[in-house]
Amino acid sequence: VVKADGLAAGKGVVVAQTEAEAIEAVNAMMEDHIFGASGGRIVIEECMVGEEASLLAFVDGKTIVPMISAQDHKRIFDNDEGPNTGGMGAYAPAPVVTPEIRKEVEEKILKPVVDGLKQEGITYQGCLYAGLMITADGPKVVEFNCRFGDPETQAVLPLLDGDLAQIMYACAKGTLTADMVHWKDAAACCVIMASAGYPASSHKGDVISGLDAVDKEDVMVFHSGTAKKDGQYVTDGGRVLGVTAVAGDLKSAIEKAYANVKRIHFDGQQVRSDIGAKGLKHLK
Ligand code: GLY
């Protein structure tokens, strides 16, 4: 994968299928300057093929307690088609992260990172987000974030069986232990409802109806791109709402999330219909 190191409006990446294509991409960026100054320096990385997953972890500087795994859906359309977005939905746990893979991520990725930061004089405390590609050769890192993930968090935290504040306090104080963190034996699915034009643009001011009709139990509607106008909720950004449902298994969580999404409406709403479908394939 050949990438212009500077900003290129999301277009500066070439996923070369052959060595010749990779060389062509390097020449186009560095000699023909197709991305201008942004291609003056390039990054060359291994092409990772597989399924993406996210594993977030609580960290107190030395102790690492991974959360349950999750999977984001970054493209705007079903079947992972169309442009990238901030995330159109997520579910947890993600069966692609088997107990063996989870252990490998903990030992070969999370622990070395926290130890490495420590050696560089950084005591990392808080949430560490590992964006992973689960390849045929095992889990590999796509990215790290020093924050929770969106929309993964809307699927992961509803499954936390305990007090998040107590866990975060332990992270801050350096007193975190694995037995402070428990998870419900359940699954969660978060479906994002986006406004017209997203991700290229967004549409503001469309009236959102049906919020009062959602289930009162095991369903949460997270507001992101909303505003209140004349007593009504209206769209006010790209990703408008995240509708999360918790149920005993992934299939029921997906069904419940979509049943509640159907009760909410705003003009131009964009909703993927396949959030969680990849997870169900693993469970067959
Ligand atoms: N879901 C991707 C992120 O939070 O960066």
Structure confidence by residue, pLDDT tens digits, 95-130: 999 999 999 999 999 999 999 999 999 999 999 999
Q: What is the pLDDT of residue 84?
A: 86
Q: Where are the alpha helices (DSSP H) in the chain?
A: 19-30, 99-105, 111-119, 152-156, 164-173, 250-261, 277-283
Q: Say yes or no: 144 and 262 in one domain.
A: no
Residues in the chain: 284
Q: How far is CA 216 from CA 17, 186, 225, 249, in A?
A: 50, 18, 22, 19
User: How do beta strands 204-207 and 219-223 pair?
Assistant: unpaired
Share of the chain above pLDDT 70, in %: 99
The pLDDT of residue 154 is above 70: yes
Residue 11 has pLDDT above 80, yes or no: no
Residue showing tokens 């866990």: 167
Of the pLDDT bands very low, low, confident and very high (cuts 50, 70, 90), residue 8 is: confident
**Residues 106, 19 share a domain:** no
Give the residue, out of 145, 153, 156, with the most ligand 1 atoms within 8 A of its beta carbon, to mutate for a pocket test: 145
- 192 and 156 together in one domain: no
The stretch 52-68 carries a mean pLDDT of 98
For the ranges 83-87, 131-135, 211-215, the lowest mean pLDDT is seen at 83-87
Cα(71)–Cα(155) distance, integer angstroms: 9
Q: Has residue 105 been placed in a domain?
A: yes
Indicate the residue among 134, 156, 180 that finishes a domain.
180
User: Has residue 33 been placed in a domain?
Assistant: yes
25 and 95 co-located in one domain = no
Same domain, 174 and 56: yes
CB hemisphere CA count around 16 (13 angstroms):
17
Q: Would you state the pLDDT for residue 7?
A: 83
Predicted confidence at residue 133, as pLDDT, reads 97
pLDDT at 10 over 70: no
Tell me the CA end-to-end span of the chain in Å, nearest whole number: 33
Q: What is the pLDDT of residue 216?
A: 96
| Same domain, yes or no: 224 and 196 | yes
- Domain-ending residue, one of 180, 199, 224: 180
CB atoms under 10 Å from CB of 220, counted, come to 17
Q: 161 C-alpha to center of ligand 1: Å?
A: 23
Coarse DSSP helix, strand, coil percentages of the chain, rounded to the nearest 5 percent: 30, 35, 40
User: What is the reported pLDDT for 13?
Assistant: 87
Q: Are residues 95 and 192 in the same domain?
A: no
Q: 26 lies in which domain range?
A: 2-44
What's the rounded mean pLDDT across residues 60-79?
97
Pocket of ligand 1 (CB under 6 A): 72, 87, 145, 149-150, 152
Residues 96 and 112 in one domain: yes
279 inside domain: no
In a domain, 284, yes or no: no
Structure tokens belonging to residue 165? 């504040």
Q: What is the pLDDT of residues 32-54, one digit of tens each?
A: 999 999 999 999 999 999 999 99
- In CATH, what number is assigned to the domain containing residue 152? 3.30.470.20
Q: Is residue 66 part of a domain?
A: yes
Measured by CA distance, the residue closest to atom 3 of ligand 1 is 149
**Cα(21)–Cα(27) distance, rounded to whole angstroms?**
10
Atom nearest to 149 CA in ligand 1: 4
Task: Measure the CA–CA gap between 184 and 206, rounded to whole angstroms.
Answer: 36
Do 62 and 34 belong together in one domain? no
Residue 52 tokens read as 């993406």
The answer to whether position 133 is within a domain reads yes
Q: 147 CA distance to ligand 1 centroid (A)?
A: 9
Average pLDDT over residues 66-94: 95
Quick one: 141 and 106 in the same domain? yes
- The predicted-structure confidence for 178-223, as pLDDT tens digits, reads as follows 999 999 999 999 999 999 999 999 999 999 999 999 999 999 999 9
281 found inside a domain: no
Q: What total of structural domains would you count in the chain?
A: 3
The pTM is what? 0.92
**Which residue, of 124, 155, 180, is where some domain finishes?**
180
Residue 31 lies in a domain: yes
Residue minimizing CA distance to atom 4 of ligand 1: 149
pLDDT given for residue 181 in this prediction: 98
Share of the chain above pLDDT 90, in %: 94
What CATH number is given to the structural domain containing 243?
A: 3.90.600.10
**Residue 196 and residue 261 share a domain:** yes
212: exposed, middle or buried (Cβ count in 10 Å: 0-12, 13-18, 19+): exposed
CA of residue 259 to ligand 1 center, whole Å: 25
Residues 13, 117, single domain; the answer is: no
Task: Tell me the mean pLDDT in the region 78-89.
Answer: 93
